[in-house]
Structure 1
Amino acid sequence: MAEAAGVSIATVSHVVNSTRFVSEKTKSKVFRAMEQLDFRPNAVAQSLRSQKSNTIGLIVPMLPSDTSNFFFMTIVQGIQKTLKQHGYQLLLSNNATEELEEEKEQIKLFNSKLIDGLIIASIADDASYLNDTVRSHYPVVFIDRKSEGYPGDYVLADGFGGSLKAVQSILDKGHEKIGFITGTLGISTSNERLEGYKKALADRGIAFDPSLMREANASFENGYECAKELIASSDITALFVANNVLTMGVVAYLQEQKIKMPEELAVIGFDDYDWTKITTPPLSVIRQPSFEIGVKAAEAMIQRIENSDKHEGIEYRLPTTLIMRGSC
């Protein structure tokens, strides 16, 4: 290739590896020769020499037939767009089993690819296992939910603030018996949304009533059953559903039973997906800044790579938005 470009082998190496200044005119000669010879730099060899792969690993938990996949894929778009602007590639892995062992195996695979950093929506409350698998070889940015036990940055939506705003808006309309349906508690996202619900009630002097709350794994069927149980066993006049998949089941039950929103039951759901705009009436929701979470996570990762001497983790909280439509 050096012969085709009419330059030295050292010059070709400097152009390919960006290790020294080379004039634009000389670069153009080398690039033309690369194109003519269909030359592709060996990324693995380059990363072994430089100890830098310009690749960021991403692990997210996405289940088949789960509408929350749209949430994570929008985050992925934000991450990928931002990394590309800084010359990085994204390596995506999906923990479809939501098993911790699967998460650990995916990280080991990433380690073999010599990634420069890891962005992860971990299923683990305690991420101390990363002390053995990552061992501070590269920075870690946690997204969507908080995991303790390993130093890293966090990029999260303000689930507490979103729930607080939703329930406050329901209270402002005169409702006091407000049902609450949540996904499985134990992960920070679900816990924070419950705390926002409780805080809104407490601020108005209304005691938290556990009988008005239902907790279930996020599925359409569970949302349907939770709505059925709450309406049959209580005199709620409003309902806040803190999970999108459960919201779908709730709306299906209300439509089947011809329960009118908001005349008979005011409803606010979580996440602003397209289907929420075409219900009758359109559904009021809390919108999460999914694309923005991706952008911020990538920016935080780039900052960590470029400033490796920083050790203290930073928590970034992105605001959620209450979108009022016809259901409340």
Structure 2
Amino acid sequence: MNPTIKDVAKLANTSKSTVSRYLNGLPVKKETEEALKKAIKELNYHRNENARRLVRSKTQTIGIVVDSITNIFYPSIFRGIEEVAKEKGFNCVFYSMTSNKYKESYFQNLFFEGHVDGIIMISFSKRDKQELVEIAEAGFPVVVFGDSAGVPNVISVDVDNYYGIAELVRYLHRIGHEKIAYISGPEDAAATKCRLTGYLETIGQLGLEVNPSWIVTTDWSNEGGYHAMNQLLADGDFTAVVASNDETAIGALRAFQERGYHVPTNFSITGFDDITLASWVYPSLTTVKQPFMQMGMKAATELFNRMETGEEYPAKRHLLKPELIIRDSCRKISEPISTLK
């Protein structure tokens, strides 16, 4: 039979309540602590987590639901979540919507069936508003990572996409660019509309020209950026390009180079995300860095606040600011000019 708390207490010459205190992280005398460590090691004791959960009515586990396990940004988000969960003494269990072929609302059953104490749902795709309303009204502890579909009574965490694009446009304007093209993203990505709005409104605030032929849509791939850049070069009357992600910016760089143009001598270009390759391409890419680990930590912190406080914990949308990373893909073409009017 497996050793019990009673066996540990007997070998360490102490009480079961003292063993329980020690196992739950509460302070005990130094000599008692040493005796308990020795007894636990000698007996190879492992406490029964299932019994512990029944007593506490808690699983000490949070569920992380993702739309796809292949997304290159998710590992950094996971590290942030796990760092907070570890501090709280919780485990993380990961669930893939792709492999299970379920909608996000299905995974609320993880809570109601007692598998987890709370859930973080991660997706960069547009969410169905009615489905998110259903999740919000179910009353279980949940934090939505990415699109909140405009649902006010759900806790959500995302990057400030509008701010990131606006920072890039303002930076290009500060170094003298007034004709700035834009490579947009796919329709099903939640960030696409917000980033495009950031571009259009900032261009307008700066009093610059908005030329519809300078806006091209892509699927956010290298190939998409390559074709978008060739399409933009058919017009050619611009000096800089803001690509709405780094993948398209890297594809656009290749299109420039194949046509004999030099970046940043002939054109300046920026990306969005700061993927690893952004600092390794030539020239290295000016971009904005998404704080993925910090976003993961924020999502986990908000989930634990909700779990500890209950349904009265206020729902809020938390937008973390990306950081402008200036590298070698942009050139100053005039003296600095004023920014917002």
Pair 107,34 (structure 1): closer, same or farther in 2 beyond 3 Å: farther
- Cα distance in 1 for partners of 2:245, 2:101 equals 22
Aligned residue for 2:142?
140
- Are the equivalent residues in 2 in contact too, given 1:271–1:286 (CA < 8 A)? yes
Alignment map for 1:45-60 (pairs within 5 Å): 45-60=51-66
Alignment map for 1:92-171 (pairs within 5 Å): 92-96=94-98, 101-109=102-110, 112=113, 114-122=115-123, 123-129=125-131, 136=138, 138-149=140-151, 151-171=153-173
Of residues 225, 239, 242, the one that matches 2:241 is 239
- Cα distance in 2 for partners of 1:323, 1:267 equals 13
- Cα distance in 2 for partners of 1:203, 1:282 equals 29
Alignment map for 1:1-328 (pairs within 5 Å): 1-6=5-10, 11=17, 14-15=20-21, 18=24, 29-62=35-68, 64=70, 69-96=71-98, 101-109=102-110, 112=113, 114-122=115-123, 123-129=125-131, 136=138, 138-149=140-151, 151-185=153-187, 187-328=189-330
Pair 127,270 (structure 1): closer, same or farther in 2 beyond 3 Å: same
Pair 110,136 (structure 1): closer, same or farther in 2 beyond 3 Å: closer
Cα deviation for residue 86 of structure 1 reads 1.9
Structure 1: tracts of 5 or more residues without a match: none
Pair 299,35 (structure 1): closer, same or farther in 2 beyond 3 Å: same
Pair 151,40 (structure 1): closer, same or farther in 2 beyond 3 Å: farther
Once the two structures are superposed, residues 10-47 of structure 1 have per-residue CA deviations (whole angstroms, 9 ceiling, x without a partner) of 53784487499876655655554443333333333432
- Cα distance in 1 for partners of 2:196, 2:172 equals 15
State the Cα RMSD in Å.
Answer: 3.1
Q: Percent identity?
A: 26
- Cα distance in 1 for partners of 2:134, 2:203 equals 43
Cα deviation for residue 221 of structure 1 reads 1.8
Comparing 146-155 with 202-211, which one deviates more in the overlay? Answer: 146-155
Residue identity opposite 1:87 in structure 2:
G
Compute the TM-score of the two structures, normalised by the length of structure 1.
0.84
- Cα distance in 1 for partners of 2:54, 2:211 equals 59
Pair 3,295 (structure 1): closer, same or farther in 2 beyond 3 Å: closer
Q: Which has the larger radius of gyration?
A: 2
Cα deviation for residue 290 of structure 1 reads 1.2
Structure 2: tracts of 5 or more residues without a match: 331-341
Comparing 39-48 with 102-111, which one deviates more in the overlay? Answer: 102-111
- Cα distance in 2 for partners of 1:278, 1:107 equals 42
Residue identity opposite 2:183 in structure 1:
I
Comparing 128-137 with 244-253, which one deviates more in the overlay? Answer: 128-137
Residue identity opposite 2:198 in structure 1:
G
- Are the equivalent residues in 1 in contact too, given 2:178–2:208 (CA < 8 A)? yes
- Cα distance in 2 for partners of 1:219, 1:106 equals 30
- Are the equivalent residues in 2 in contact too, given 1:15–1:27 (CA < 8 A)? no
Pairs aligned (count): 323
Compute the TM-score of the two structures, normalised by the length of structure 2.
0.81
Comparing 123-132 with 256-265, which one deviates more in the overlay? Answer: 123-132
